[in-house]
Amino acid sequence: MPQMPPSRRSVLTGFGSLAATAGLGSAASGCAAPSAAGAGRTRLRFWHLYGGGDGVTMQAMLDAFRAGHPGVGLESATLQWGPAYYTKLGMAGAGGRAPEVAALHLSRLPGFAPGRLLDPFDLDLLARHGVRPEHFPEAIWRRGASGGAQYAIPFDTHPFVLFYNTEVCAKAGLLDGNSPGKREEDGEKGQGKRGAKGRSGGKARLRPLAGVGEFTRALRAAREATGHPGLVIETLGNDTVGPWRLFATFYAQAGGTVLDPTATRVTLDDAKALRVLEWMRSLVEDGHAPRRVDYTGAVSRFNNGDSAFLITGEWEVSTYLTTELPFSMTRIPNLFGRPSAFADCHTFVLPHQADRGGASNEAAHRFVAWMLRHSTDWAAGGHVPAYRPVLSEPAYLELHPQSEYRSVVDDVALDPPAWFAGSASAMQIELGAALSGVLTGSRSPRDGLDEVRKRLRDLLATPDPFGGRA
């Protein structure tokens, strides 16, 4: 028997501290969508949080779906990114009056009480439209399941990657001169039409960098070539999450975990965590990275052309393709033993409806399958399609540099499956603040680790507003 959805009051209690950081009112004011379902058309409402370049791309995809499906009245609503979006979506599911389909970060799934705030997908219905479980990386697909049902269908993965300035790297002798035209992965065709606006590196490729020692030598060579720090990373800022994502990348490479599989116990490994934190601290102490840079500053400093490397999310590819910066991208090097990189995934979910079913539910499944099959367009913004058949399509392989780090789809390090984790979550903000001090010098690595452990325990002690997973 389906579980009853929580009350609106319990939803507001659970999301309240997050909503306060972004403003629930602003989310509510942006949720109304004009009616697009005329007589004889099936109504299909889609809520999402895509702005900027992603928003432009999404709108084009939605227009293409409308053109090809005149019998479906697709209404889309773009809500404010972050806590406000999740508050609004949770309230809609709690009331059973939600849209037919919505976007959700995969890492936020446990906090949406699958079976209460979300309805499961009909996998047979998806299969009729050409989408099956075997089309996705197993680990990502598995994270979308709960209680034997599938509640989230992965659209992409958006990982931390290594941006590199090809001119600076050439001066520093860091490009792969042994095979001048060699592509990082088989099947790539050269600079595609999506990269034509920028100077995205041509055939210049960064030589493989493995291990802390080799990466450090590359940073030193870059500094000697330019007189500037070789690496830019986000170290501080209001609600900064960059330090957490940086740590999560390399701690996962070291084989460490943060919480146990049930997300009820802290499992931090002191030796592995301190090894990573001490290396992170050395980046600024040894002059390889600026000490005090917020997110916007990191993006801008790399665009100045003085630094060899930037570690950030692949979504910034759109920024650099519109400038004259000579750059390319690759996976974050394996420095600590495993080729992992922090990531999250955009997914499609079915918010709970008291009367879900019929033509509108079928249209929701058809819409999700269509978006997956056409996700080459979505990949132009840097995201790696989760629907594997797209990864071998010539149109995707011609995207440069977006297709060059596609193999990371099998090595993503997601936040632990806790209701308080994930994108725009309390955990990322809390731990980002704790680790920011390690980079800026206000905390030692030991103090930073102790503070991370304390904040994790505080989060674990906070009652789950939905009373545990379905």
Per-residue pLDDT of the chain in tens (470 residues, 90 and over written 9)? 334 344 333 333 344 333 333 333 333 333 334 445 566 899 999 999 999 889 999 999 999 999 999 999 999 999 988 888 998 998 898 887 899 999 999 999 998 878 889 999 999 999 999 999 999 999 999 999 999 999 999 999 999 999 999 999 999 999 986 333 333 333 333 333 333 344 555 567 999 999 999 999 999 999 999 999 999 999 999 999 999 999 999 999 999 999 999 999 999 999 999 999 999 999 999 999 999 999 999 999 999 999 999 999 999 999 999 998 999 999 999 999 999 999 999 999 999 999 999 999 999 999 999 999 999 999 999 999 999 999 999 999 999 999 999 999 999 999 999 999 999 899 999 999 999 999 999 999 999 999 999 999 999 999 887 655 43
Residues 229 and 145 in one domain: no
Residue 1 lies in a domain: no
Q: How many domains does the chain have?
A: 2
- What local confidence, expressed as pLDDT, does residue 180 receive? 34
Residue 467 lies in a domain: no
Residues 336 and 348 in one domain: no
Give the range of the structural domain holding residue 301, as residue numbers without chain letter: 165-343+416-461
Strand partners for 298 = none
What pTM does this model have?
0.87
Residue 173 lies in a domain: yes
Residues 453 and 383 in one domain: no
Residue 469 lies in a domain: no
CB atoms within 10 A of CB 208: 11
Strands 153-154 and 346-351: antiparallel
Residue 204 lies in a domain: yes
Residues 254 and 142 in one domain: no
Residues 169 and 257 in one domain: yes
Residues 130 and 206 in one domain: no
Residues 361 and 447 in one domain: no
Residue 188 lies in a domain: yes
Residues 361 and 333 in one domain: no
* CATH code of the domain covering residue 292: 3.40.190.10
Contacting residues for 278 by C-beta, under 8 A, at least 6 apart: 445
CB atoms within 10 A of CB 147: 11
Residues 356 and 271 in one domain: no
Residues 254 and 153 in one domain: no
Torsions phi, psi of 132, nearest 5? -135, 160
Residue 2 lies in a domain: no
Residues 277 and 380 in one domain: no
Residues 204 and 172 in one domain: yes
Residue 466 lies in a domain: no
C-alpha 99/C-alpha 93 separation (Å) is 9
- What local confidence, expressed as pLDDT, does residue 13 receive? 35
